[in-house]
């Protein structure tokens, strides 16, 4: 439920992140406001390893600007969009850009109020309160990343209402009322329409500003690949981008499940190719076998076979 980030990676990343935002063309006034936010909310030393150090940057100037403006104005963000639209990448990028510790809660049907706020437990023969991630967020002014919020029951989420609205406090039943530290923000993600997910009720949805995440554009995917794999040649890079969008079209048409529509998997496959695995085997490991149904695997391999030769080697894909 919680994720920690190594400090060395994080320190290198902060400067790179701010440079990236400038490069991305984010409005200078917003960049100044982000810096002012960071100055107003200095980070305690013991929380430094909780600031995310995401491996990937989120590409998309408009989304960046909208999200940053909302958080600067004290709003909580609800990021909605399909698979591989970068909801989690943006969440972590935002926490890093704002220099805040993050508590990442993956929602599922068993998440209840206790799992969010905290629960009673025994310690040394006494009943004591063990704070949950939302309490920690409130106390330390962190960014609470509420992943797949619509997988949880609305009843379980009702405990968040007072934290998310103008009251900005948590009333821990049987214990104290905990006011939110000023820097606290919540970023929820949801994949609306995913099989089995529920709709957020009005009371909860009204406490967020909603940002519809667009699918990654061909240009941005190309930038992502060239940034992470600078040695990757242009032609195979373009074909891999096309491959991703063809898989996306197949998912949207309902011919395959979303399991193979996995941007991380595609990047993993490229890492394997860089390590010397032939393209076919690498794509199999990174993408195709994410689904376990053989018929679906055949459909995915057909898309690949019409774009990328499975025999392509590292030398044919990457410059030395």
Partner 1 sequence: MSGPYSAQQRRALNQVWNAAGVYGFSPLFLSLDAAGRPDLYLNTIVGCVRKWYGEEEPAALFQSWAGDRRQALLDDLAWLVLESAAYARELPARPLLAELRRVHAEAFFDQEQTLSRQEWMAKNQLSYTMQAARWRAVLGRRPPVMTPYEKRLSAALDLGGSENPFPAILETFSRFHLFTGKTKPPPALRLRLTGRLAGMMTRLMPTEIVHTDVVDLGRASGAGEGGGPAADPRRAVLRLKEDAADRQYIESCFGPSLLPDRELGLAEQALCSGIHLGCRLWYTAGVPRPERTKNQEARRMAEQALLQAERNRAAFSADAALYQNAILRLTERIQNCLHVHGQVETETARRGRLDPSRVWRAAVLGDQRVFQREEPSNRPGFAVDLLLDASASRLHCQETVAAQGYILAESLARCGVPVRVSGFCSLRGYTVLRVLKDFGGRSRGVFRYFASGWNRDGLALRAAGALLEGPPDRRRVLLVLTDASPSDSRRIPPGGEYPLGRDYDGAPAVKDAAREVRALERRGVRVGAVFMGPAANVPAAESIYGRNLARIRSMDQLAAAAGTLLQNEIQELEG
Binding of residue 122 to partner 1 (CB under 8 A): yes
Query: Which residue in the set 46, 196, 275, 319 belongs to the binding site for partner 1 (CB under 8 A)?
Result: 196
Smallest gap, in angstroms, from Cβ of residue 39 to partner 1? 40
| Binding status of residue 31 toward partner 1 by CB under 8 A | no
Quick one: how far is CA 43 from the chain centroid? 22
User: Is 306 among the residues that bind partner 1 (CB under 8 A)?
Assistant: yes
Return all residues near 281 (Cβ < 8 A) that are at least 6 apart. Answer: 272, 310
Examine residue 198 and tell whether it contacts partner 1 (CB under 8 A): yes
- Return the residue of 45, 166, 202, 295 that touches partner 1, per CB under 8 A: 295
Closest C-alpha to 37, from 73, 91, 83: 73
Instruction: Answer yes or no whether residue 299 interacts with partner 1 by CB under 8 A.
Output: yes
The SS3 assignment for 232 reads strand
Measured CA to CA, the distance from residue 147 to residue 151 in angstroms comes to 9
Sign of the alpha-carbon dihedral angle for 84, 85, 87, 91: positive
Neighbours of 55 (CB within 10 A): 12
Q: Least Å distance between CB 147 and partner 1? A: 15
Q: Is 246 in the site for partner 1 (CB under 8 A)?
A: yes
Q: Is 33 in the site for partner 1 (CB under 8 A)?
A: no
Contact 82, 125 (CB under 8 A): no
Contacting range for partner 1; rule: CB under 8 A; set: 51-59, 208-216, 222-230, 300-308:
300-308
**Within 10 A of 77 (CB to CB), how many other CB atoms are there?**
25
Q: Considering the rule CB under 8 A, would residue 305 count as an interface residue with partner 1?
A: yes
- Spell out, one character per residue from 78 to 117, where the chain touches partner 1: x when CB under 8 A holds, - when not: -------------------------------xx-x-x---
Backbone angle region of 148, left / alpha / beta, with phi > 0 → left and psi within -120 to 50 → alpha? left
Tell whether residue 242 is a contact of partner 1 (CB under 8 A).
yes
Q: Kindly state the smallest distance separating residue 119's Cβ from partner 1, in Å.
A: 5
CB of 309 to partner 1, least distance (A): 6
Q: Is residue 202 part of the contact set for partner 1 (CB under 8 A)?
A: no
Tell me if 97 sits within 8 A of 139, measured CB to CB. Answer: no
- Residues at the contact surface with partner 1, assessed by CB under 8 A: 109-110, 112, 114, 119-122, 127, 130, 151, 153, 194-198, 235, 239, 242, 246, 249-250, 252-253, 255, 257, 293-296, 298-299, 302-303, 305-309
């Amino acid at each position: 439920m919680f994720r920690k980030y190594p400090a060395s990676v994080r320190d290198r990343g902060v400067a790179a992140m701010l440079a990236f935002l400038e490069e991305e063309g984010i409005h200078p006034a917003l960049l100044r406001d982000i810096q002012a936010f960071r100055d107003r909310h200095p980070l305690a030393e013991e929380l430094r390893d909780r600031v995310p150090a995401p491996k990937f940057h989120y590409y998309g100037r408009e989304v960046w600007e909208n999200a940053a403006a909302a958080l600067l104005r004290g709003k909580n963000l609800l990021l909605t969009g399909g698979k591989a639209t970068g909801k989690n990448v943006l969440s972590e990028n935002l926490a890093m850009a704002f220099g805040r510790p993050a508590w990442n809660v993956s929602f599922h049907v068993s998440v209840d109020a206790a799992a969010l706020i905290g629960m009673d437990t025994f310690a040394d023969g006494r009943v004591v309160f063990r704070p949950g991630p939302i309490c920690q967020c409130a106390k330390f002014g962190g960014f609470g990343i509420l992943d797949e919020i619509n997988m949880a029951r609305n009843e379980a989420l009702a405990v968040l209402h007072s934290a998310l609205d103008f009251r900005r406090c948590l009333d821990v039943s049987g214990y104290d009322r905990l006011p939110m530290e000023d820097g606290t923000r919540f970023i929820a993600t949801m994949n609306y329409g995913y099989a089995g997910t529920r709709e957020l009720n009005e009371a909860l949805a009204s406490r967020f500003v909603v940002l519809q995440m667009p699918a990654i554009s061909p240009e941005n995917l190309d930038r992502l690949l060239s940034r992470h794999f600078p040695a990757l040649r242009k032609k195979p890079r373009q074909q891999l981008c096309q491959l991703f969008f063809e898989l996306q079209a197949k998912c949207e048409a309902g011919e395959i499940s979303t399991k193979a529509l996995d941007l991380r998997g595609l990047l993993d496959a490229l890492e394997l190719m860089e390590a010397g695995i032939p393209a076919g085997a690498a794509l199999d490991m990174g993408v195709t076998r994410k689904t376990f149904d053989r018929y679906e695997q055949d459909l995915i391999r057909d898309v690949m076979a019409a774009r990328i030769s499975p025999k392509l080697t590292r030398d044919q894909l990457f410059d030395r």
